Amino acid sequence: MQRVLPLLADPPAAPTAPRGYLDQLGSAVQDVNTGMVQALWSSRIGASLFDHAATAARRVFGILQSPTGHLHLQPGHTALDIGCGPGEITAALARTVGPTGLALGIDISESMLTRAAHRHRADNIAFLRADAQRLPLRDNTVDAVTCIAGLQLIPDPIAAMAEMIRVLRPGGYLAVLVPTVRTGPIGRFLPDAGGARLFTATEIADTVKGFGLREVGTRRFGMIQWTYGHKIRAQQ
């Protein structure tokens, strides 16, 4: 936790982490998703179900695995995992940045964070409870940001992307995975199912380009889409 404090805009004077993660949100939860899917991810049983299902799915589907290569991570880097859930990707990032680096997982779900902090304990991994729409981090502090299957649950995904890019250092890389709408009948019926929205094929790429990212590219498998980008310079 001591390694996280220098990244925070307003670090607590007496930080504690009784459940293994630092809580920067407390009861000040506002404007977050109140749909069925997020309610499930906020419950202990939902966090457990997701953890097992995601681990199994990642063994089968390469597209769901950690975007480590696209993030250009080096030993000693700081990597941020937004909507980290049970922390499997955060742990993969921690292995890449090594003992001198830091992987920080952020989520709003106490159940997910409790599970993540319990399962993944190492000096170079930390978990923080915070809202992706208002990251409590200083500008230009991390070398890479990823957000895997989290943006569709965030009421203001554009604000969340702006925050991810704000905290990314010039030279850093972003990798975001979202569910997207297929053209045809599936796309017409699925949007907003259970409070989880679907994006169009160009929405994320257009947004991050609008925030100044360069080398923006996408990769798609069925309804799952990755968007990658590179922050060249600090924002004005």
88 makes contact with ligand SAM (CB under 6 A) = yes
CB atoms inside a 10 Å sphere around CB 10: 7
| Cα atoms in the Cβ-side hemisphere of radius 13 Å centred on 115 | 23
Token readout for 101 is 């680096």
109 makes contact with ligand SAM (CB under 6 A) = yes
Q: What angle do CA 221, 175, 51 make, to 5 degrees?
A: 70
Beta bridge partners of 177: 148, 226
The nearest distance, CB 189 to ligand SAM, in angstroms, is: 20
Q: Pick from 67, 83, 136, 172: which binds ligand SAM (CB under 6 A)?
A: 83
CA distances from 131 to 28, 151, 157, 160, 221 (A): 10, 11, 11, 9, 28
Q: Select the span of 67-75, 95-103, 150-158, 183-191 touching ligand SAM (CB under 6 A).
A: 150-158
148 makes contact with ligand SAM (CB under 6 A) = yes
CA 214 to chain centre: 20
The nearest distance, CB 146 to ligand SAM, in angstroms, is: 8
Going 68 to 101 to 129 to 44, the CA torsion angle's sign is positive
Q: Pick from 21, 41, 127, 199: which binds ligand SAM (CB under 6 A)?
A: 41
The nearest distance, CB 136 to ligand SAM, in angstroms, is: 11
131 makes contact with ligand SAM (CB under 6 A) = yes
Distance CA(217)–CA(230), nearest Å, equals 10
24 makes contact with ligand SAM (CB under 6 A) = no
| Binding positions for ligand SAM, rule: CB under 6 A | 32-33, 38, 41, 54, 83-85, 88-89, 106-109, 112, 131-133, 148-150, 153-154
